[in-house]
Amino acid sequence: MFSQERFKFEILSVLSMKFAPSVRVSLPRSYNVLVFRRRGDAELYGEESETVKLRANDVTFVPPNYKYKINSLTSEEVTVIHFKADIKNGKEFKNLHSVNPARFEYLFEKALSCWNKKPLGFAYILDSVFCSILAELEIQCAEEYSTSVEINVRKAIDEMRMSLSDADLTVERAAKLSGYSSSYFRRIFRQITGQTPRAYLISIRIERAKTLLESGYYNVEQASALCGFDSPKYFSTSFKKAVGVFPSSLIPKR
């Protein structure tokens, strides 16, 4: 939600707010707003006609000078932190649905209690709680990002498996399916699978070739073509390197 670079901040207020079902307009403010939605659903209509659905357990960041209209579909209860900060890339409205709402609810309520009661050392306590909120946001955003990246890589892997016989199947084509550039795709593919995309593609082609050859119904040339190798010679060389024997040795003797 925020840049991973640390930034200085000053908390201006922490409020608990309730709204009945209604439509209201929020004028631009000179400070940042961080909201935890305890209850209630709403639709937010922001700048450039963007529409965002807000649900219970969402954490929402509203940057300075952001004008929006909000339609409360049900009664709402939110905890709001107003703060000043110079945040890198912090000029965009952002909304995150929490997968760990109990943690966020605890931290926002602790911030609210600290602001209202102002115990000895409350400024330091409040800053500490706010930093804990930022840490939770960074952790969840990283986990959400990792999940989405893995899903996209798995889509590419599924395409590889379904198109093994296609000699035109390339790493570039798989990368395009995942929505990433070839260089980035190669990097994240290796992080997730432990192999380069090319090595992985060859390995699953060879595994399928082994199955075909061991069935006794296909010769080396046929298995090579059915597994996407455009050259039986290259197929035999790759097979020997991966398996330790030439493909012809796997064909059952009749």
User: What pLDDT was estimated at residue 237?
Assistant: 93
How many structural domains is the chain composed of? 2
| 59: in domain | yes
Instruction: Report yes or no on 154 lying in a domain.
Output: no
40 sits in the region (left: phi over 0; alpha: psi -120 to 50; else beta) called: left
| CATH number for the domain that contains residue 220 | 1.10.10.60
Q: Kindly indicate the confidence band of residue 97, based on its pLDDT and cuts at 50, 70 and 90.
A: confident
Co-location of 70 and 107 in the same domain: yes
Residue 153 domain flag: no
Asked if 14 and 111 sit in the same domain, the reply is yes
Q: Is the pLDDT of residue 12 over 90?
A: yes
Q: Per-residue confidence at 230, pLDDT binned at 50, 70, 90?
A: confident
Give dist(CA 183, CA 98) in Å, integer. 32
In contact, 246 and 232? CB cutoff 8 Å = no
Residues 98 and 178 in one domain: no
- What local confidence, expressed as pLDDT, does residue 133 receive? 95
Q: Tell me, yes or no, whether 118 and 186 share the same domain.
A: no
What pTM was computed for the model?
0.60
Ranges 1-5, 109-113, 134-138, 174-178: which has the least confidence = 1-5
- Is 149 part of a structural domain of the chain? no
pLDDT at 82 > cutoff 90: yes
Asked, for residue 150, whether it belongs to a domain, the answer is: no
Q: Does residue 152 form part of some domain?
A: no
Here the CATH number for the domain that contains residue 13 is 2.60.120.280
What domain range includes position 173? 163-254
E strand or H helix that includes residue 15:
strand 9-19
Evaluate whether residue 156 is within a structural domain: no
SS3 (DSSP) at 117: helix
The residue with tokens 């209850």 is 39
Q: Answer yes or no: do 106 and 195 share one domain.
A: no
Amino acid 91: pLDDT: 79
Tell me if 94 sits within 8 A of 35, measured CB to CB.
Answer: no
Are 197 and 135 contained in the same domain?
no
- pLDDT tens for 144-185 read 766 778 878 888 888 888 888 888 888 888 888 777 888 889
- Whether the pLDDT of residue 115 is over 80: the answer is yes
Question: Quick one: CA dihedral 103, 108, 112, 114, positive or negative?
Answer: positive
107 with 194, same domain? Answer: no
pLDDT tens figures, 35-68:
999 999 999 998 766 788 999 999 999 999 998 9
Q: Do 173 and 100 fall within a single domain?
A: no
Same domain, yes or no, for 191 and 115? Answer: no
